[in-house]
A and B are shown apart, each in its own frame.
Chain A
Amino acid sequence: MPPPFSSFPSTPIAQLLGSNGPIHAVTYSSPPSPYILTGSSDRLIRLYNPTPSPPITHHSNTITTTHPPSQTSPIPPGRLITTFPPLHSHPILSLAISPSNATFLSSGGDRTLFLWDVATSLSTRRFHGHAGRVNAVAFAGGGGDALALSGGLDGTVRIWDLRSASTKAVQVLTEARDAVTSVVAPSGGWEVVAGSVDGRVRGYDVRMGRCVVDVVGASVTSLCLDGEGGGETVLVGGLDSKVRMMDRRDGRCLRVYEGEGWRNEGVRVQSCFGGAGRWVVAGDEFPVDEEGGEGRVWAWDVMTGRVVARLGVPWGPGRRMGVGADGREKGRRNVVSCVAWKDGGRGDQFCVGGRRGWSRFLGGDRREARQDD
């Protein structure tokens, strides 16, 4: 029995301010997911506690907001805990947190991966080798953090050893014929799933030594494994304005999620499963209207494929005009490019980030229940 329509979380809980550029990566820490990590175009990684601070201790904690919350915005800002040093020389494109929450990986346009130690806010390892920007990183291997996976613009998936001190890649998977946009690994499994711009999802089974190539057709921009089903289904976001849920066992397309007005043709827009596999959530490349600058988040019901919710993401504080490539001033599009769903913990909550440079953290009706607790 699918949950009713209204159960999709639509109440904004907090705004995570502080970034000076578009946010390309948003990720929750491992369950129960109390923290949010954002990677921004301003080369900084920020660690937030999305729960808004109580008003009494508001000014005593370490909020560094470039845009102080205006009076009109009733959404309180989340607490910025740490800003990690800008070791990346280019925008950060992907983040991954290890299951133990002790370390996380970041990658960016500088063709480098960094392994960070959360406790000391320092980078412990650095991995070179990609010939282009690194679009996606993930943890894999035994224990969940033995290996680092990275997929880059150079069309390779590189697997790095985190257990030893070697900085050479354990293996380079060069089957992709175009840029690799997303890399995921089912937890506890022995597989590496990589989506590429050449329109294929490749699943590398290490145990069998087999690479299963599933042709999707459109360029794959995001992959999301079904956590509850043990990674049996994968959500494939393509540049043909469709999100497909595909069965990884036989490669069938179980459901196509598309919507009137939902378009994804140019940029990487993340989509993910949400609510323990009840919904599919995706950002939107095109805002609802250019003037208002309200981006959108779409949600579909997994089983029926119907649009469950269309949530507006307002532009937030700050001006909307930017200087375009032609030197003329023009309005920025509020692209909601990254989505992360809170796995574990109480409440249905998710976090979106995008062009505007701040991420928004949304919770649903369960939030109130949690507050009552």
Chain B
Amino acid sequence: MSYKRSREIFEAELTAQQSPFVFFGTPLPPLDPEVRDDGSYVPVWKQEVRDERGRKRFHGAFTGGFSAGYFNTVGSKEGWTPSTFVSSRSNRRKDDAKATQLRPEDFMDEEDLVEAEEARKIQTTAAFAGLGSTEDDVARTNSVMGLFRPEGDTMGARLLRKMGWRDGQGIGPKVRRKARLDMESNASGKPDTFLFAPENVPMVGFVRKTDQKGLGFSGESRLGPARLSTKTSIAANSDEEEDDDDIAGGLGRPKFSLAVGRKKGKDKGQGGIGTGILNDNGSDDEDPYEIGPRISYNRTIGGDKKKKKTTTAINPNLKAKPIFMPKKSTLGKVGLGVRKCHDGRLPLEGFVFGREDDPLTSAVSLQVKHPPPKIPPEWKSSKTPKSQGESKDYVSTADAAKASTLDPRARAALLGEKQLPGKSVFDFMSAEARQRLVAVTGKADLPAAKGEIPAGYARTEEERQHELLSRVPKLDKETSVAALSRGTGGGAPYADNDEKRSRYRAYLEHQAGFRPALPPKPAKMSNEDWLREFQEFFNCARIFKPMTGFMASRFTTASSTSKLGSGSTAGDGDATLLAQPPSKPKDPAEEAAKLGMYGPLTRSVVDFYPTRLLCKRFNVKPPAHVQPDDGAASGSAAKKASASQFGASMQDYFATEFGSGAEASDAGGMETAASGETGAPKPAPEQMVDSTTNEALEGARAGEEVFKAIFGDSDDEDD
């Protein structure tokens, strides 16, 4: 008989059983009563798989795919956390607020959480925490400073330990006493005595009053420290030593309110009204509400009760954690105040430290032990300083000069000198000189130049003119005549400037004696410029020298042709040129260019060797001395033939200038001579190698005289 269960029954069975379709036996209860596991239809949007931490396990296409990440690591600590797809079109940044609310804990796994929890424990630096402020330094030096030492292994403790001291012992010679053994103390009448290390001297501690309670009140269970503060002897408190947690400063450890804070909080719970079974603590570790397995929770931040209990009993000195204290601060604090006894204590009240003087200083100061010998009253040193009075009066010259109030005028008056006119140098300076000074010094605020002339030096106009004319360079007559004759031709200098050329001609005529006076100075030209121009004319005329002199200079030595090119045309008949030899040989072409004499003087011809490709690209036949076409070889190898070329061009020039006649033929002859002379240094291009003949071998043999002249006469030697 089959029947259809109602929906309610089915749902009830579903929650009660593992499988509602079991017909035989007792169905198992469901694993998770919250989860339906009947295979019933769940819409896709409801289908979610979550892991043990409630994170979504499988993800849709927009959140990373069905098995997202490497082996479905999305959402785990190795993987990335998927974010749901948000259409930026409709609701942009909808989840931003949510995203910002993520806490760091959301990204932590269990270990991280534990670590974070541990990191949250607050640790005070125990007893030293209260010393940060400086407001009551004075009080502290009096009360607190002497009461503690820097904890941990100080250098002193290490030294003591090396000397046999052990932690917890006092310092000093050993004390003979009986052993304090509680069990035996009453039994035997006269116990044996032993040598013991002295007891550790307790520090007297003063608890600073920080609360508002009345004096002496320290709460129900806090009577110990108050009692201790007045205690002076602890010889009989051996029982208290064992549990010295209650005794603040029991072994010289001051108890600060912060340090006992933990204890205090616990104690508060213990004492008081209505202490029941839950409040009674026979043991701290018992949890009255504890059910089930013992799981230890830290219910208080920073509480670690067990450790404290165990550490205190064994070594009370090291009960607190060693804390690093910077040396500077501790030293500063310790050295702040008071002197202490050698055991670290302050002197007893009412007592003052005695002063033991340093033996050396005391010896010096009191002169007790080795007083210097006494000088006899009648003794006199043989080395008396000479003339003490003089040295006192001595003043150096510089000091005297400094101290003197005289100015040059006053000094001159003292010496009886004649007063100079009250004028400065600038009054006598010309404007040009002042300009030069301004240019050199760079100071524009120099006084104005007045150009005055002292009374004795004033000259008349004629004198001045004469002086000016005397500075005009003198040219000898034949040179100027020759230069004049050259000027008639087309190649005269200053061809581009007619006025200047006329001035030049006038100068030459004056120097040659044809013209009695020099041409008048142009109006806009200053004296200096005028003279400079004459100097220029002088140089120009010197270069345009008479032909004879020039040619004569060419034939003095064989090397004169090359010298000609370099400008030092040293000739015998050339005294004017030799008179002022230029310090640095100047290029005559440059000189000529400076004078505006462009033409043959400024032109020189140098051989250069075009490459074959260059000639080809220019569509020209390569010259005979074409460079072999090995890439971009530079033309710097071009041998300069400028000297000979220049010389030749110069001769051409003069030959044309002087026209016909004997001189022309002379020049022509000279030209041939010169070319023959300079034929040797001429570059090789013309000497094309003829492979068919070897002139060296096949040429006519030189005459016998030549060989004789060179190698000597062997016959003579034989004779």
B606 at the interface (CB under 8 A from A): yes
Given contacts A168-B631, A175-B635, contact A251 B605 (CB under 8 A): no
Q: Which residues of B contact A190 (CB under 8 A)?
A: 618-620
Q: Which residues of A contact B571 (CB under 8 A)?
A: none
Q: In the complex, A158→B635 CA distance in Å?
A: 10
- The one of B497, B603, B642 that contacts A256, using a Cβ cutoff of 8 Å: B497
User: A257: nearest residue on chain B (CB-CB)?
Assistant: B496
Question: Contact flags (1/0) for B599-626 with A, using CB distance below 8 Å?
Answer: 1101111111111011101111101111
Do residues B619 and A142 form an inter-chain contact, with CB atoms below 8 A?
yes
List 20 other contacts, CB 8 Å, given A172-B635, A199-B590, A207-B620. A146-B618, A173-B635, A174-B636, A175-B638, A190-B620, A206-B610, A209-B685, A210-B605, A211-B605, A211-B608, A212-B605, A213-B604, A213-B605, A213-B606, A215-B590, A215-B593, A250-B599, A250-B600, A253-B598, A254-B496
A288 at the interface (CB under 8 A from B): no
Do residues B626 and A209 form an inter-chain contact, with CB atoms below 8 A?
yes
What 7 A-B pairs have minimum CB-CB distances, sorted nearest first? A209-B623, A217-B593, A253-B598, A142-B619, A251-B603, A215-B589, A169-B632
For residue A257, give the distance in angstroms from its CB to the closest CB of chain B. Answer: 10
Do residues B590 and A147 form an inter-chain contact, with CB atoms below 8 A?
no
For residue B326, give the distance in angstroms from its CB to the closest CB of chain A. Answer: 49
For residue B572, give the distance in angstroms from its CB to the closest CB of chain A. Answer: 29
Question: Contact flags (1/0) for A144-170 with B, using CB distance below 8 Å?
Answer: 001100000000101101010000111
Q: In the complex, A135→B608 CA distance in Å?
A: 23
**Which residues of A in the span 211-235 have a Cβ within 8 Å of any Cβ on B?**
211-217
For residue A334, give the distance in angstroms from its CB to the closest CB of chain B. Answer: 28
- The one of A161, A199, A206, A255 that contacts B496, using a Cβ cutoff of 8 Å: A255
B495 at the interface (CB under 8 A from A): yes
Number of interface residues of B (CB under 8 A): 45
Given contacts A170-B613, A173-B635, contact A209 B607 (CB under 8 A): yes
Given contacts A141-B617, A170-B614, contact A175 B636 (CB under 8 A): yes
A246 at the interface (CB under 8 A from B): yes
User: Which B residues contact A (CB, under 8 angstroms)?
Assistant: 495-497, 587, 589-590, 592-594, 596, 598-600, 602-611, 613-615, 617-621, 623-627, 631-636, 638, 642, 685
A126 at the interface (CB under 8 A from B): no
Q: Which residues of B contact A170 (CB under 8 A)?
A: 611, 613-614, 617, 632
Q: In the complex, A256→B593 CA distance in Å?
A: 13
Q: Which residues of A contact B617 (CB under 8 A)?
A: 141-142, 146-147, 161, 163, 170
Do residues A214 and B598 form an inter-chain contact, with CB atoms below 8 A?
yes
Q: Which residues of A contact B627 (CB under 8 A)?
A: 171
Can you list 30 A-B contacts (CB < 8 A)? Answer: A129-B632, A142-B618, A147-B618, A156-B634, A163-B617, A168-B631, A169-B632, A170-B613, A173-B635, A174-B636, A175-B606, A175-B638, A209-B607, A209-B608, A209-B626, A210-B605, A211-B608, A213-B642, A215-B587, A215-B589, A216-B598, A244-B598, A246-B598, A250-B603, A251-B603, A252-B495, A252-B598, A253-B495, A253-B596, A305-B496
A208 at the interface (CB under 8 A from B): yes
**Highest count of chain B CB atoms <10 Å: which of A147, A214, A217:** A217
Q: Which residues of B contact A217 (CB under 8 A)?
A: 590, 593-594
Q: Which residues of B contact A141 (CB under 8 A)?
A: 617-619
Q: In the complex, A253→B602 CA distance in Å?
A: 10
For residue B705, give the distance in angstroms from its CB to the closest CB of chain A. Answer: 41
- The one of B592, B598, B606, B625 that contacts A211, using a Cβ cutoff of 8 Å: B606
Q: Which residues of A contact B635 (CB under 8 A)?
A: 171-175, 211
Do residues B632 and A251 form an inter-chain contact, with CB atoms below 8 A?
no
Q: In the complex, A309→B190 CA distance in Å?
A: 140
For residue B588, give the distance in angstroms from its CB to the closest CB of chain A. Answer: 9
Q: Which residues of A contact B604 (CB under 8 A)?
A: 212-213, 215
Q: In the complex, A156→B608 CA distance in Å?
A: 14
Do residues B600 and A211 form an inter-chain contact, with CB atoms below 8 A?
no
Q: In the complex, A161→B632 CA distance in Å?
A: 11
User: A210: nearest residue on chain B (CB-CB)?
Assistant: B605
**Highest count of chain B CB atoms <10 Å: which of A156, A172, A215:** A215
Q: In the complex, A332→B325 CA distance in Å?
A: 68
For residue A71, give the distance in angstroms from its CB to the closest CB of chain B. Answer: 44
Q: In the complex, A163→B613 CA distance in Å?
A: 11
User: A174: nearest residue on chain B (CB-CB)?
Assistant: B636
User: B595: nearest residue on chain A (CB-CB)?
Assistant: A217
Q: Which residues of A contact B606 (CB under 8 A)?
A: 175, 210-213
Do residues B599 and A174 form an inter-chain contact, with CB atoms below 8 A?
no
Do residues B607 and A211 form an inter-chain contact, with CB atoms below 8 A?
yes
User: A238: nearest residue on chain B (CB-CB)?
Assistant: B593
For residue A306, give the distance in angstroms from its CB to the closest CB of chain B. Answer: 13
For residue B334, give the distance in angstroms from its CB to the closest CB of chain A. Answer: 58
**Highest count of chain A CB atoms <10 Å: which of B594, B606, B608, B625:** B608
User: B610: nearest residue on chain A (CB-CB)?
Assistant: A206
Q: Which residues of A contact B593 (CB under 8 A)?
A: 199, 215-217
Do residues A172 and B608 form an inter-chain contact, with CB atoms below 8 A?
no
Given contacts A173-B608, A174-B635, A207-B621, contact A214 B603 (CB under 8 A): yes
**Highest count of chain A CB atoms <10 Å: which of B605, B626, B627:** B605
User: A140: nearest residue on chain B (CB-CB)?
Assistant: B618
Do residues A213 and B603 form an inter-chain contact, with CB atoms below 8 A?
yes
Do residues A206 and B620 form an inter-chain contact, with CB atoms below 8 A?
yes
Q: In the complex, A216→B590 CA distance in Å?
A: 8
For residue A150, give the distance in angstroms from its CB to the closest CB of chain B. Answer: 12
Q: In the complex, A232→B609 CA distance in Å?
A: 23
Given contacts A172-B632, A210-B608, A256-B497, contact A161 B620 (CB under 8 A): no
For residue B59, give the distance in angstroms from its CB to the closest CB of chain A. Answer: 51
A204 at the interface (CB under 8 A from B): yes
Q: Which residues of B contact A214 (CB under 8 A)?
A: 598, 602-603
Q: In the complex, A346→B497 CA distance in Å?
A: 35
For residue B613, give the distance in angstroms from its CB to the closest CB of chain A. Answer: 5
User: B611: nearest residue on chain A (CB-CB)?
Assistant: A171
Given contacts A170-B632, A175-B638, A209-B685, contact A251 B598 (CB under 8 A): yes
Given contacts A147-B618, A159-B614, A256-B496, contact A168 B607 (CB under 8 A): no
User: B592: nearest residue on chain A (CB-CB)?
Assistant: A215
Q: In the complex, A217→B621 CA distance in Å?
A: 34
Q: Which residues of B contact A244 (CB under 8 A)?
A: 598
Q: Which residues of A contact B497 (CB under 8 A)?
A: 256
**Highest count of chain A CB atoms <10 Å: which of B495, B613, B625:** B613
For residue A321, give the distance in angstroms from its CB to the closest CB of chain B. Answer: 26
Q: Which residues of B contact A211 (CB under 8 A)?
A: 605-608, 635, 638
**Highest count of chain B CB atoms <10 Å: which of A161, A170, A172, A173:** A170
Given contacts A215-B589, A250-B600, A253-B596, contact A207 B618 (CB under 8 A): yes
Do residues B603 and A212 form an inter-chain contact, with CB atoms below 8 A?
yes
Q: Which residues of A contact B594 (CB under 8 A)?
A: 217
Do residues B623 and A171 form an inter-chain contact, with CB atoms below 8 A?
no
Given contacts A213-B604, A215-B590, A252-B598, contact A161 B613 (CB under 8 A): yes
**Highest count of chain B CB atoms <10 Å: which of A140, A168, A171:** A171
For residue B607, give the distance in angstroms from its CB to the closest CB of chain A. Answer: 6
User: B621: nearest residue on chain A (CB-CB)?
Assistant: A207
Q: In the complex, A85→B298 CA distance in Å?
A: 75
Q: Which residues of B contact A171 (CB under 8 A)?
A: 610-611, 613-614, 627, 632-635
**Highest count of chain A CB atoms <10 Å: which of B607, B614, B623:** B614
Q: Which residues of A contact B632 (CB under 8 A)?
A: 129, 158, 168-172
Q: In the complex, A175→B610 CA distance in Å?
A: 13
For residue A302, give the distance in angstroms from its CB to the closest CB of chain B. Answer: 13
Do residues A253 and B619 form an inter-chain contact, with CB atoms below 8 A?
no
Q: Which residues of B contact A159 (CB under 8 A)?
A: 614
For residue B606, give the distance in angstroms from its CB to the closest CB of chain A. Answer: 4
Q: In the complex, A244→B605 CA distance in Å?
A: 21
